[in-house]
Structure 1
Amino acid sequence: MRKSCNFFFAMLCLAGTAGIGSGVMAQESAKPKTEPPGAGKSAKTRTLEAGAKVLQSNAPIEGFDIYLVGFHPIKDHPEQQMEAHHYCHQVNEDLAQCVLFDGNTKGANMHGVEYIISEKLFETLPADEKQYWHPHNAEILSGQLMAPGIPEVAEKSLMKTKMNSYGKTWHFWNTGQEGQLADKLPMGKPMLAWSFNRDNEANPGLVERRDKKMELNTAQKRKDRADLKALAKPQSGVDELKGKFGRQTQDIPGVVDKKAAAAARP
C-alpha cells in the first residue's frame, strides 16, 4: 500500500500503513465466477510484463488506493445485479474515479467504471444529465457499501464523506452472479447501473453470499452507521426503480427521494 495519503485516508495513515495493508490482504477472498477464454500467457509475454514493470511508469493508476465493495442493479434490467469491487482514486474533495472488478483477487475481471461526485457538483449538472447519476445514501445507511480491511473509525469517516454523493456507473461486461448467466467476453452495449434504495431490492442471497465469503456483516454495519442518517438529505433518483423488482420492498430510514420530499411539502 502506498504511504502517501489523500484527504480521507488521513485517518488510515494514523493507524499505520503496515497494519492496514495486512487487513486488506486478509479480505482477498472474492474470486470471480467468469474465466475468459484465451491461451495462457507465453514466456515471451511474461518477460515483457516483467520488463515493463521495471522500466515503465504506471503513474495514472498509482492513486487508485481506496477499496470499496458494493452492489449495482442495471437500470434498464433491475434483476440483473452485480457485485462490484471498486478501486478508487480521490481526485479532489468533490470527485473520485473508480475502476470496477468482479472480485478482489489477482484473476478478477474489470467489468466497469464509476465516477463519484459530491452533492455540490451534482447540482451543477444539466437536468438531462442527472438521469445517469444514482444516489448513494441508501448504499451507505443500509450497510451494503463497505471498505473492507480498514479500522472501523476510518471506514465510518470515509462513508461520512460520501453521504449525499452520486455515482455514474457503466458496466461493460456481465461476468455473472449466482443464478445468472455470464458472458465469456464483454458483449453488447454498455449498461448503466443504479443503486439499491430500499430493503429487499437486492436479489435473495446476494448480500448474504458476499458477507459470508468476505467475513463481513451488513446488518451490524447498518447499526453502526445509524447516526449518519442525520446527515442524509433527499436525493434525486431514489424512486427511479421503485416497484420494479417484482417483490415487496421497504423504505430505509433517512433515504428520501427529492421529488417526493418536494411534493410532500405544504
Structure 2
Amino acid sequence: MASSDKNPSGVLPYGAQPPGDPMTIQQHILDKGAQMVQSLKPIKQMQQHVCTFALYSHDMTRQIETHHYVHRLNQDFLQCAVYDSDAADAHLIGVEYIVSDHIFEDLPPEEQKLWHSHAYEIKSGLWINPGVPEMIQKPELQNLTKTYGKFWCTWQVDRGDPLPFGAPALMMSPQGVNLGMVKPELITKRDKKYGIASEKLKESRIEFPEPEMINPLADYWKQAGKGLAIDIEETEMKKMTPFP
C-alpha cells in the first residue's frame, strides 16, 4: 500500500479508537508496576508541547492539526513524537526531526527535498506552545524560524484508518502561498480550544528576524509543483553468509 492510497476498506470514524478488547485489571497493574521501577528516560526528556498544522505532501488539500512532544538533544537537533491531539487517548501518528539551518545546508540535495521550513509557520502564529506565555517562548521561537523539519506520518487517522496502514506519508509545513495555506476552519477550531487568536500572535511576531535564506530545495512542492510519496515494493533479500 502506498502512502498516497485512498481510504482502505473497513474504516472507522475519525478519532475512533483502534479495534481491540479493553485492558484487563492485570494489564493495568503491570503498567503501574512498570512505571514504579522503570526510568522511562527518553520520554521524560520531552519538555515541550507544540501544536501546529501539517499537510500531506501527496495531497495538500488534506490538512491536520498536530501535537508535537519535543525532546531537544542539542542546540541544533530536536526529535518529536507527533500525536493527533493532546488527549490521554491520542493516536501516535508519526515522528518529526528538526535541524538547524547549519545542519540542513550540509545535507545532500536529494535529502533536502524531504524537509520543510518553519519560518512562515511560526511567524504566522500557527505554531504555538499551548499555555506558555508568548514572552517566555519568544527566544525559542526566533531560533526555530531558522530550522527545517522532516515529518513522517505513520497513521493517517484523518482518512479514518483504524490502524496504521500502508507506507509512511511525508508531511509538509504550512506556507503563505496557494496550497500551503491552512484552512481557516482548522485554525478557528484550534484557537477556540486554547483560547488564543493566531492573528494576534502573528502581529506580535512580525518583528521576528527573517532567515537570511530559506533553501529552495526545502518545501520542494513550491518549486517543483509536485509532491513526494512512498510506494512499497517487493525486493530481493540479501543472502546471509552461513555461520562457520
In the TM superposition, what is the alpha-carbon distance from 1:231 to its structure 2 partner? 3.2
- State the identity %: 32
Q: Is contact 2:172–2:219 with CA below 8 Å preserved after alignment?
A: no
Mapped to 2, the partners of 1:196 and 1:146 lie a distance apart of 13
| Matching residue of 1:188 | 166
| Matching residue of 2:187 | 207
Mapped to 2, the partners of 1:71 and 1:233 lie a distance apart of 24
Aligned residues between the structures: 209
Aligned in 2, Cα 1:69/1:109: closer, same or farther, shift over 3 Å? same
| Matching residue of 2:3 | none
From 42, 45, 66, the equivalent of 1:63 is 45
In the TM superposition, what is the alpha-carbon distance from 1:151 to its structure 2 partner? 2.1
Does residue 175 of the first structure (1) align with residue 157 of the second (2)?
Answer: yes
From 194, 204, 208, the equivalent of 1:224 is 204
Mapped to 2, the partners of 1:101 and 1:238 lie a distance apart of 22
C-alpha offsets along residues 93-148 of structure 1, whole Å, 9 cap, x if unaligned?
10000000011111111101000000000001011110111000010111100111
| Matching residue of 1:19 | none
Mapped to 2, the partners of 1:78 and 1:231 lie a distance apart of 25
Gaps of 5+ in 1: 1-31, 245-266
| Matching residue of 2:221 | 240
| Matching residue of 1:53 | 35
Mapped to 1, the partners of 2:223 and 2:192 lie a distance apart of 28
Aligned in 2, Cα 1:242/1:203: closer, same or farther, shift over 3 Å? farther
From 131, 143, 149, the equivalent of 1:161 is 143
In the TM superposition, what is the alpha-carbon distance from 1:242 to its structure 2 partner? 7.0
**3-state SS of paired residue (1:187):** coil
Question: What residue identity is the alignment partner of 1:213?
Answer: K
Question: What residue identity is the alignment partner of 1:110?
Answer: L
Mapped to 2, the partners of 1:243 and 1:127 lie a distance apart of 14
Mapped to 2, the partners of 1:238 and 1:184 lie a distance apart of 30
Mapped to 2, the partners of 1:171 and 1:219 lie a distance apart of 28
From 79, 82, 85, the equivalent of 1:97 is 79
TM-score (norm 2): 0.81
TM-score (norm 1): 0.74
**3-state SS of paired residue (2:32):** helix
Gaps of 5+ in 2: 1-13, 226-244
Q: Is contact 1:65–1:87 with CA below 8 Å preserved after alignment?
A: yes
Q: Is contact 1:75–1:241 with CA below 8 Å preserved after alignment?
A: no
| Matching residue of 1:81 | 63
In the TM superposition, what is the alpha-carbon distance from 1:61 to its structure 2 partner? 1.4
Mapped to 2, the partners of 1:204 and 1:239 lie a distance apart of 24
Q: How big is the alpha-carbon RMSD for the aligned residues of Structure 1 and Structure 2?
A: 1.9
